[in-house]
Amino acid sequence: MSIKQISVFLENKTGQIAEITALLAENNIDLRAISIAETSDYGVLRIITDDADRSAAILLEAGNIVSMTPVTVVAVEDKPAGLSGLLSIIARSDISIDYMYSLFTKHEGTAYMVFRVSSGGKFANLLKEHGMKGVTAEELGLK
């Protein structure tokens, strides 16, 4: 139950993220999540869009270095300690979180968190054991 995340490798120079988001907007691509990580030499822009395959093709055609990674999106109750409870469960299970960030939605009362973890299968089982599940692309309106 994974979602396609696009990673775009960027030079550390002003305006790179603006260029990427403008390119997606010009092509009527809806950005659903965005995260940036940087090193001294380059940045990694992680995005989830409404059409991952088309987005990746557009970004590649524009000369960007792009990769796709499966990630898990989890619905979390949007209240104090909603995320903390999930993170405590993950910590007790000995699953390492490589990274996480939030996803934009229009679903009131629910927050959506994007996870890349050390063990996807173990993570899916853990969610199931605790009455949670990964959210599908279809549930989020993604292609």
pLDDT at position 49: 96
The mean predicted confidence, pLDDT, of the chain is: 91
Half-sphere exposure of 143 (CA within 13 A, CB side): 11
Number of domains within the chain: 2
Confidence grade of residue 77 (pLDDT, cut at 50, 70, 90): confident
Q: Tens digit of pLDDT for each residue in 78-96? A: 888 889 999 999 999 989 9
Which has the closest alpha carbon to 71: 120, 130, 121?
120
As a whole number of angstroms, the distance between CA 95 and CA 78 comes to 23
Would you give the end-to-end CA distance of the chain in angstroms? 14
Residue 17 in this model has a pLDDT that exceeds 80: yes
Q: What is the CATH number of the domain that holds 125?
A: 3.30.70.260
pLDDT at position 78: 82
Q: Is the residue at 140 inside a domain?
A: no
Least confident residue range of 16-20, 50-54, 129-133: 129-133
pLDDT at position 12: 83
- Both 81 and 57 in a single domain? no
Single out the residue in 70, 85, 112 at which a domain terminates.
70
Single out the residue in 52, 70, 88 at which a domain terminates.
70
As a whole number of angstroms, the distance between CA 135 and CA 75 comes to 7
- Both 54 and 76 in a single domain? no
- Both 11 and 65 in a single domain? yes
Residue 14 in this model has a pLDDT that exceeds 80: yes
Q: Is the residue at 142 inside a domain?
A: no
Q: Is the residue at 34 inside a domain?
A: yes
Residue 7 in this model has a pLDDT that exceeds 80: yes
Q: Tens digit of pLDDT for each residue in 95-105? A: 999 999 999 87
Across-strand partners of 66?
8
Q: Domain limits at 101?
A: 71-129
